Structure 1
Amino acid sequence: MAFELDHLFICTAPNAPAAEQLVQFGLVEGRSNRHAGQGTANRCFFFHNLMLELLWVHNAAEAQSEVTRPTYLWERWAGRSQNACPFGLCLRPIEGQVHEVLPFPSWDYQPIYLPPGVAIPIATNVSVLTEPMLFYLPFAKRQDSYPEAKAQPLDHAFGCEVTRVSLTLTQSPPRSGELEALSATNLITIQTGPAYLMELGFDGETQGQHHDFRPALPLIIHW
Structure 2
Amino acid sequence: MAFELDHLFICTAPNAPAAERLLQFGLVEGRANVHAGQGTANRCFFFHNLMLELLWVHNAAEAQSDNTRPTHLWDRWSGLAQGTCPFGICLRPIAGQASSTLPFPNWNYQPAYFPAGVAIPVATNISVLSEPMLFCLPFATRQDSYTEAKAQPLDHAFGLREVTRVSLTLTQSPPRSGELEVLAATNLIAIQTGPTYLMELGFDGETQAQHRDFRPALPLIVHW
In the alignment, structure 1 residue 72 sits paired with structure 2 residue 72: yes
* TM-score, normalisation: structure 1: 0.99
Counterpart of 1:62? 62
> Number of paired residues?
223
In the alignment, structure 1 residue 145 sits paired with structure 2 residue 145: yes
What is the rounded CA distance, in whole Å, between the counterparts of 1:169 and 1:82 in structure 2? 14
- Deviation, 1:82, is 1.8
Q: More deviation in 151-160 or 13-22?
A: 151-160
Equivalences for residues 1-223 of structure 1 within 5 A: 1-158=1-158, 159-223=160-224
* 1:24-55 Cα shifts (integer Å, max 9, x gaps): 00000000000010000000000000000000
Q: Extract structure 1 runs of 4+ deviating beyond 6 A.
A: none
* 1:52-110 Cα shifts (integer Å, max 9, x gaps): 00000000000000000000000100111221000000000011111111000000000
What is the rounded CA distance, in whole Å, between the counterparts of 1:192 and 1:90 in structure 2? 21
Identity %: 83
What is the rounded CA distance, in whole Å, between the counterparts of 2:170 and 2:215 in structure 1? 15
- Deviation, 1:199, is 0.2
* TM-score, normalisation: structure 2: 0.99
Q: CA RMSD in A?
A: 0.5
- Deviation, 1:155, is 1.6
Q: More deviation in 61-70 or 149-158?
A: 149-158
Q: SS of the residue aligned with 2:52? A: strand
- Specify every segment of 5 or more residues in structure 2 that has no aligned partner in the other structure, as ranges: none
- Specify every segment of 5 or more residues in structure 1 that has no aligned partner in the other structure, as ranges: none
AA at the equivalent of 2:133: M
What is the rounded CA distance, in whole Å, between the counterparts of 1:55 and 1:35 in structure 2? 10
What is the rounded CA distance, in whole Å, between the counterparts of 1:142 and 1:87 in structure 2? 20
What is the rounded CA distance, in whole Å, between the counterparts of 1:187 and 1:195 in structure 2? 21
AA at the equivalent of 2:64: Q
